Amino acid sequence: MREILIRGETDGTSTSGTVELDSDIFHSKVTYFRLPKGMCAIITFKKVSGEGETLFTLQYCNDVTAASPEWREMEREKLASKGEFVVENVAVVLHSLTGKEAFRVIYEQPTAAKAYIELGVELKEE
């Protein structure tokens, strides 16, 4: 098992979009995290902060290599106004049977503002 911290932020100029994710194990920022074949990702906590109202949505895809990947909603976290909160003991489990599975975070805001999300992720072999 390996624990990683994945961070992301809105661009501060758009009211919706895909969060670019970053971690100390990534070579560069990514728009989704592809799960290694035979592994599962367990999201253990989420920390959300920002300068204004923001809705973050965690999405999962069974085949990110498809011409038009189909993303489905797994969870949402809403920051109602400027501030921060942490959700612990989340236990969202995402499985990878083929190595084509991935997750990403999208956001929506009524007014563009900087907002941030951190995900605690445990990677485990199945």
Instruction: Give tens-digit pLDDT for 66-83.
Output: 999 999 999 999 999 999
Query: Quick one: pLDDT at residue 25?
Result: 87
Residue 1 has pLDDT above 80, yes or no: no
| Average pLDDT along the chain | 94
Q: What is the mean pLDDT of residues 102-109?
A: 98
Number of independent structural domains in the chain: 1
Taking the model in full, what pTM does it have?
0.93
Helices marked H in 55-124: none
CA distance linking residue 14 with residue 114, whole number of Å:
9
CA distance linking residue 57 with residue 63, whole number of Å:
19
Specify whether the CB–CB gap between 47 and 32 falls below 8 A.
no
pLDDT tens sequence across 16-55: 999 999 999 889 999 999 999 999 999 999 999 999 999 9
Q: Over pLDDT 90: what percentage of the chain?
A: 88
Q: For residue 96, what pLDDT band results from cuts at 50, 70 and 90? A: very high
CA distance linking residue 84 with residue 98, whole number of Å:
36
The CATH number for 102's domain is: 2.60.120.40
Q: Could you say which DSSP state residue 10 is in?
A: -
Residue 114 has pLDDT above 90, yes or no: yes
Q: For residue 58, what pLDDT band results from cuts at 50, 70 and 90? A: very high
Residue range of the domain that includes 56: 2-125
Q: Hey, what's the torsion of the CAs at 5, 59, 49, 41, to 10 degrees?
A: -20
